[in-house]
């Protein structure tokens, strides 16, 4: 594979820089996965076609970029909950693998090469020359310590269930690890491209693991300079970022630093953007129309891999009765919700996986809006005179709007949803205690299909806590973990979607779309590249200020 691309590079009339890049890239290994789902010819990150810089792009060092967000990041140890800002997490933490545009974790990042000896054993070679922000070396010992730390129940890692198929991880030498699984594990790459794959400094974890929540030591392009909980995060440039050297771009990352300010009110955030005190802003859906015409801003809109849903307490509430779950699901006018609360910036969801995900079952249609049926079902289940249920929803501006809209829709069919608007910590407590009937559900950052499925529906899943116990689904989840044949694996997850759909396990609402505004001084965004390569593009293409000045 590397051979062919080198020929192509020589065949084209390329300039010297691209040639050097291609040469450097070709000297890195490629990834070979027996899962074979890797479509875009899974190669090392640097010899992907999209890694080639545009000829007239001249990144310039300099400038302090300011971003405004709605919520403070919360915990900075990704294995602890709640973490409310994964974008910022990605500034100082990096993962072993990252996903490409097909939702497959094919792109090695901190791992250099992943070799499957057999479906139950993987040899992983780590990248050389990577150091943590506290100076300690990123090596095999470090990775082993971290994985063992996650699996230790005393660490209270919410993602420990994702490592359940792991038998052991052993250090072979300074840069090599052997991962042994209890059974064939198709989702291993996916887990390395998810939360357990964020590499943390073992030195810091050993010293005081609790402190890590506020003083992370990662390998990322920016290191934490100052954190004021609830107010801001100040990050400064990591001059020793490995990717800068590896991609022969010593100026990376281009920004001198990042200031992430927490501004809870959407109007104030937008006013800051207009006043040029903020450079990058994720827009509220209602602001998109007004802002997209602004000549000083570039506004980009792209599908995001998050799903919004309502979760039922299937095991311990009235929603044990599937008729009531159906009633709720059919009582919601999803199209109206999307039109009115999302201003069209959402895609109507049929089930969990977004429509461009390879595990999305194309035969499933979004649940129809049928309030009459809902009323009938309610009466059948013995609640013709009305049903009162409790729950919670996020207390952000958007959360309030959606919760109220849904509450009103449910009221129309006779269901009184006593919904409380809660901050993340309080919501987590309720979720853990199953202290709700109907609450906010959904999932953010859907990548490998196993992760969301386990997290939500497996008994040990990080976000289940016993609220869902769908035996056929659990069986399918465990089968999907082990199935290495990509076609068979896809069919398993399609079946899983069907099972969850038929049992109305959740009321899926929509898949997200994001709209982000950038001041025109920020360069380097390639909408095509992002649509095509998603995470892999974000991670390998740092932005820069035109002229290096904010």
For residue 425, state whether it binds other proteins (rule: CB under 8 A): yes
For residue 310, state whether it binds other proteins (rule: CB under 8 A): no
Q: Which of 24, 60, 123, 423 binds other proteins (CB under 8 A)?
A: 423
Q: How far apart are CA 513 and CA 302, in angstroms?
A: 6
Q: Which is nearer to other proteins, 7 or 335 (CB)?
A: 335
Name the residue among 158, 33, 166, 210 with its Cα closest to residue 105: 33
For residue 289, state whether it binds other proteins (rule: CB under 8 A): yes
Q: How far is CA 165 from CA 179, 181, 228, 494, in A?
A: 11, 6, 38, 22
Name the residue among 222, 304, 272 with its Cα closest to residue 517: 272
Q: How far apart are CA 188 and CA 119, in angstroms?
A: 10
Q: Which is nearer to other proteins, 333 or 448 (CB)?
A: 333
Q: How many helices (H) and strands (E) does the chain have?
A: 19, 19
For residue 521, state whether it binds other proteins (rule: CB under 8 A): no
Q: What are 350's two structure tokens?
A: 């049929």
> Within 10 Å of residue 363's Cβ, how many Cβ atoms?
10
Q: Which is nearer to other proteins, 115 or 215 (CB)?
A: 215
Q: Which of 39, 207, 336, 444 binds other proteins (CB under 8 A)?
A: 336
Q: Which is nearer to other proteins, 267 or 368 (CB)?
A: 267
For residue 229, state whether it binds other proteins (rule: CB under 8 A): yes
Scanning 41-49, 55-63, 278-286, 382-390 for contacts with other proteins by CB under 8 A, the matching segment is: 278-286
For residue 376, state whether it binds other proteins (rule: CB under 8 A): no
Element (H, E) at 427: helix 424-433
For residue 469, state whether it binds other proteins (rule: CB under 8 A): no
Q: Is 400 buried (19+), middle (13-18) or exposed (0-12) by CB count in 10 A?
A: middle
For residue 433, state whether it binds other proteins (rule: CB under 8 A): yes
Q: Do 90 and 83 meet the contact criterion of CB atoms below 8 Å apart?
A: no
| CA torsion angle 9 104 254 2 (round to 10) | -20
Q: Which is nearer to other proteins, 168 or 228 (CB)?
A: 228
Q: Which is nearer to other proteins, 257 or 548 (CB)?
A: 257
Phi, psi of 195 (to 5 degrees): -55, -45
Q: Do 235 and 221 meet the contact criterion of CB atoms below 8 Å apart?
A: no
| Residue 520 beta carbon to other proteins: minimum distance, rounded to whole angstroms | 17
Q: Please spell the DSSP secondary structure of 4-20, one letter per residue.
A: HHHHHHHHS---HHHHH
Binding pattern for the stretch 73-112 against other proteins, x by CB under 8 A and - elsewhere: -------xxx------------------------------
For residue 207, state whether it binds other proteins (rule: CB under 8 A): no
Residues in contact with other proteins by CB under 8 A are 68, 80-82, 156, 210, 213-214, 228-232, 261-268, 270-272, 274-275, 277-278, 284, 286-287, 289-290, 333, 336-337, 339-341, 395, 397, 400-401, 403-405, 407-409, 419-421, 423-426, 428-430, 432-433
């Amino acid at each position: 594979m590397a051979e062919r691309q080198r020929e192509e590079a020589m065949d084209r009339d390329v300039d010297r820089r691209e040639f050097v890049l291609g040469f450097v890239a070709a000297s890195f290994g490629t990834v070979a996965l027996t899962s074979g789902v890797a479509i875009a010819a899974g190669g090392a990150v640097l010899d992907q076609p999209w890694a080639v810089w545009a000829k007239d792009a001249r990144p310039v060092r300099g400038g302090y970029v300011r971003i405004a967000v709605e919520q403070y990041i919360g915990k900075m140890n990704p294995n602890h909950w709640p973490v409310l800002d994964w974008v910022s997490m990605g500034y100082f933490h990096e993962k072993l693998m990252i996903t490409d545009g097909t939702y497959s974790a094919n792109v090695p990042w901190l791992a250099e090469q992943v070799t499957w000896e057999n479906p139950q054993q993987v040899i992983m070679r780590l990248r050389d020359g990577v150091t943590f922000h506290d100076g300690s070396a990123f090596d095999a010992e470090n990775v082993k310590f971290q994985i063992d730390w996650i699996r230790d129940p005393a660490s209270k890692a919410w993602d420990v269930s994702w490592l359940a198929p792991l038998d052991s991880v052993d250090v072979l030498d300074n840069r090599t690890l052997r991962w042994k699984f209890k059974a064939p594990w198709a989702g291993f790459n996916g887990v390395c491209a998810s939360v357990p794959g964020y590499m943390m400094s073992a030195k810091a974890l050993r010293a005081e693991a609790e402190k890590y929540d506020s003083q992370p030591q990662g390998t990322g392009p920016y290191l934490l300079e100052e954190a004021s909980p609830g107010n801001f995060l100040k990050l400064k440039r990591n001059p020793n970022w490995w990717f800068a050297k590896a991609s022969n771009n010593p100026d990376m990352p281009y920004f001198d630093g990042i200031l992430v300010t927490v501004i809870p009110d959407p109007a104030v955030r937008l006013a800051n953007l207009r006043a040029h005190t903020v450079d990058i802003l994720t827009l509220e859906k209602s602001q998109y129309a007004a802002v997209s015409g602004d000549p000083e801003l570039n506004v980009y809109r792209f599908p995001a891999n998050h799903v919004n849903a309502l979760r039922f307490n299937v095991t311990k509430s009235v929603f044990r009765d599937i008729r009531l779950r159906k009633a709720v699901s059919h009582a919601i006018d999803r199209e109206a919700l999307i039109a009115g609360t999302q201003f069209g910036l959402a895609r109507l969801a049929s089930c969990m996986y977004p429509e461009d995900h390879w595990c999305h079952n194309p035969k499933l249609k979004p649940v129809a809006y049928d309030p009459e049926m809902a009323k009938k079902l309610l009466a059948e289940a013995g609640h013709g005179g009305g049903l009162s249920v409790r729950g919670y929803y996020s207390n952000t501006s958007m959360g309030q709007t959606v919760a109220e809209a849904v509450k009103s829709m449910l009221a129309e069919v006779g269901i009184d949803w006593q919904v409380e608007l809660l901050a993340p910590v309080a919501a987590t407590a309720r979720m853990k205690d199953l202290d709700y009937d109907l609450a906010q559900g959904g999932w953010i950052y859907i990548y490998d299909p196993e992760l969301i499925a386990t997290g939500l529906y497996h008994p040990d899943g990080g976000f289940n806590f016993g609220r869902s116990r769908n035996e056929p689904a659990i069986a399918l989840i465990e089968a999907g973990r082990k199935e290495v044949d990509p076609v068979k694996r896809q069919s398993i997850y399609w079946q899983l979607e069907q099972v969850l759909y038929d049992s109305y396990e959740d009321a899926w609402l929509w898949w997200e779309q994001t709209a982000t505004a950038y001041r025109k001084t920020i360069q380097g965004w390639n909408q095509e590249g992002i649509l095509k390569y998603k995470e892999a593009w974000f991670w390998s293409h740092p932005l820069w200020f035109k002229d290096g000045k904010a």
